[in-house]
Chain A
Amino acid sequence: MIPTVPQPVFAKWCYRAYVTVFFVYLALPLTVVCVFAFNNSVFPSLPWEGFTVAWFFGTEAPFIGVFNERSIMRSIGTSAFVAFWVSALAVAVGTCNAFLFVRHEFRGKALLYMLMLLPLIIPGVILGISILVFSSSVANTLEDATGLWFDGLRPGLILVILGQFSFITTFATLVISARLQKFDPSLEEAALNLGASKIGAVRQITLPFLLPAIVASAVVSVLMSFENFNTTLMLVGSDSPLTITMFDKLKQGSTPVLNAVSLLLIIVSAALGLLSLLFQNAKR
């Protein structure tokens, strides 16, 4: 079935109908989430009680909008904090890894590359519990040995950041390596011939070339960190990121305020996703 080979009209229409149904299936859950954010009712379900923006800006109970719901605003702040650090760390380590794998030949390179890909095939829950178990036993040992407290190694934001960093770095490495492979090393050699130092050449020639990939992987890291649930669930302490707060509220029974948060999340993540694609496809 390709355009140049004629097909029965009926089969063609069946195929198109299937593709249409598929895209409706894709869009349906997100559409209802968005639509019910504007329903003037305390439940995110039918009947439709009229249009309202109270779930965004409302101040009176039970219509307390997202922007006035303190627990949600605080967890958005927590998520942003975590995402910032995860993204910064993942991009920094990812850039180093890209230089290591593209520019250097060494014994055990294939093995190291395979190890670098491992976090992709470890389920997020397992990654979470393994870091939880390890950091707790390190904390126990240190506390027994020194008598001091090591709260950073107990479930909390530091562990959440480390847990997310542990697999997001792989994505950053892959994106940045792909771009570095396209770089023409003679450009850097030219800079060296013209008297630049090694570090100067990398900073002024190579890094600007890598910038689109670096920005793209930073954006993807922020997105993945914001949305991560499985690893975070196992490592979270008293400050919970947005997905955990939403999960707790969802289990208790939801009000449309969750739809309002979701709508904002959909807009922001679609925008970030498109942005990352733009940067990844940037050509020079």
Chain B
Amino acid sequence: MGSDQSRLGFYLLLAPILLWLIVLIILPHVGLFLVSISEKIGPREYETGFDNYAAFFSEPLYWRTFARTAIMSIMATALTLILGFPIAYYIAKLTRGRTKTTLFLMCMIPFWVSELVRTFGWMILLRETGVISNILQYLGLVNGPIELLYNDAAIMVGLVYTSILFMVVPLVTTLDSLDDSLIEAGYDLGGTSTSIMREIVIPHAMPGIVSGCIVVFMLSLGNYLTPILLGGKDSLWFTGMIYTQFITRFNWELGSAFGFLLLGLSSLVVFLGLKFSGQSLSETMGRS
């Protein structure tokens, strides 16, 4: 394969990927970083410095929103894991054949539908004139309409709903590969359901747990629609702040700094997750 023709073919295949990665991924992020370290000192006059990052740390509203977004994303990830694991186990181990395919598809269908539609559904359910409020009144459990929307619990419900598939799919894949006879052997050797779960099933499912958690955390952190539509006026989300700086306030320098901080946090979590589980990015992402 050393001929000139195959070399030419190689470069022709290399061109599109380089063009794509350099023009649309690498250069824009370098540009974003350069804007984030420039300070406006006059009309169309800039100088380099870290003022935008200093502004982030000195203004409590900014870093509190950042911390809040991170903490709520961690909670959403934990909740998704706790709720999703039994479902994945049920699909992988307790069903087979057609039932298994059907259940799996039923899990997937909501996620092919736009996130906007899903969030809209939750708004119809949760708002003051919504379905749940009406049902509760009809049953006589509450007097008068109650507002379930515009609070942190609503955001949490929406976040878990939006990302649970990305937990269930990798978990089903890894649990599927666990041989039933290993679990049987565990019982034969006198293990209880809890100890078998702890010593056989969970260690085996660890790669799936890690990739699920990474993806869910990233999706929650970068989510815009769910916190904006389901959250109240004072439940801020960091992506919302980036949007405000860019589109409403037209302060691109500060917005870029915010963007970089968010990117830094999300990359850090991915890196730590991979490090602790000893996996590479390609295996983790290839699975989902």
Q: Residues of A at under 8 Å CB distance from B?
A: 1-5, 7, 15, 18-19, 22-23, 25-33, 36, 43-47, 92-93, 96-97, 99-100, 104, 106, 112-127, 129-135, 137, 162-163, 165-166, 169, 174, 198, 223, 226-227, 229-230, 233-234, 243, 246-247, 250-251, 254, 258-259, 262, 265-266, 269-270, 272-274, 277
The answer to whether A119 touches B90, judged by C-beta atoms less than 8 angstroms apart, is: no
Complex A-B: 24 CB contacts under 8 Å: A1-B89, A1-B93, A26-B161, A30-B113, A30-B121, A45-B129, A46-B134, A97-B17, A112-B21, A113-B282, A122-B25, A125-B259, A126-B222, A126-B242, A130-B29, A166-B25, A198-B9, A229-B225, A233-B224, A259-B120, A262-B114, A262-B117, A272-B112, A274-B105
The answer to whether A133 touches B35, judged by C-beta atoms less than 8 angstroms apart, is: yes
A172 to B12, CA, bound (A): 19
Contact partner, A2, options B110, B180, B222, B224, Cβ 8 Å: B180
Asked if B252 is at the interface of the complex by the 8 Å CB criterion, the answer is: yes
The answer to whether B267 touches A270, judged by C-beta atoms less than 8 angstroms apart, is: no
The answer to whether B243 touches A125, judged by C-beta atoms less than 8 angstroms apart, is: yes
Residue in chain B with minimal CB distance to A92: B16
Most buried by A among B13, B25, B112, B116: B112
A-B contacts counted at CB < 8 A amount to 239
The answer to whether B242 touches A22, judged by C-beta atoms less than 8 angstroms apart, is: no
B28 contacts which chain A residues (CB < 8 A)? 127, 130-131, 133-135
B29 contacts which chain A residues (CB < 8 A)? 130
Instruction: Please name the 3 residue pairs, one residue from A and one from B, whose CB atoms are nearest each other, closest first.
Output: A29-B121, A123-B222, A273-B112
Q: Mark B51-85 against chain A: 1 for CB-CB distance below 8 A, else 0.
A: 00000000000000000000000000000000100
B262 contacts which chain A residues (CB < 8 A)? 123, 125-126
A27 contacts which chain B residues (CB < 8 A)? 106, 110
A126 contacts which chain B residues (CB < 8 A)? 32, 222, 242, 259, 262-263
The answer to whether B239 touches A133, judged by C-beta atoms less than 8 angstroms apart, is: no
Q: Mark B240-256 against chain A: 1 for CB-CB distance below 8 A, else 0.
A: 00110011000010011
The answer to whether B285 touches A15, judged by C-beta atoms less than 8 angstroms apart, is: no
A137 contacts which chain B residues (CB < 8 A)? 31, 35
Given known contacts A33-B121, A45-B130, A134-B31, what 17 new A-B pairs fall within 8 Å (CB)? Answer: A18-B86, A26-B161, A30-B118, A30-B121, A33-B120, A45-B134, A46-B129, A96-B16, A104-B10, A104-B13, A115-B26, A123-B266, A126-B262, A137-B35, A165-B20, A234-B243, A259-B124
User: Taking the nearest CB of chain B, how far is it from the CB of A260, in angstroms?
Assistant: 11
Asked if B221 is at the interface of the complex by the 8 Å CB criterion, the answer is: yes
The answer to whether B161 touches A29, judged by C-beta atoms less than 8 angstroms apart, is: yes
Asked if B87 is at the interface of the complex by the 8 Å CB criterion, the answer is: yes
Residue in chain A with minimal CB distance to B220: A123
A227 contacts which chain B residues (CB < 8 A)? 113-116
Query: Considering the complex, which residues of chain B in the window 265-284 have a beta carbon less than 8 Å from any beta carbon of chain A?
Result: 266-267, 270, 281-282
Q: Mark B1-43 against chain A: 1 for CB-CB distance below 8 A, else 0.
A: 0000100011011101100110011111101100100000000
Chain A residues touching B, majority SS = helix
The answer to whether A106 touches B10, judged by C-beta atoms less than 8 angstroms apart, is: yes
The answer to whether B20 touches A166, judged by C-beta atoms less than 8 angstroms apart, is: yes
Asked if B172 is at the interface of the complex by the 8 Å CB criterion, the answer is: no
User: Taking the nearest CB of chain B, how far is it from the CB of A110, in angstroms?
Assistant: 9
Asked if B190 is at the interface of the complex by the 8 Å CB criterion, the answer is: no
The answer to whether A262 touches B120, judged by C-beta atoms less than 8 angstroms apart, is: yes
Contact partner, B113, options A2, A250, A269, Cβ 8 Å: A269
Known interface pairs A2-B180, A120-B285, A123-B239; A258-B221 also in contact (CB < 8 Å): no
A7 to B114, CA, bound (A): 40
Asked if B125 is at the interface of the complex by the 8 Å CB criterion, the answer is: yes
A273 contacts which chain B residues (CB < 8 A)? 108-109, 112
The answer to whether B16 touches A30, judged by C-beta atoms less than 8 angstroms apart, is: no
User: Taking the nearest CB of chain A, how far is it from the CB of B36, in angstroms?
Assistant: 9
B12 contacts which chain A residues (CB < 8 A)? 96
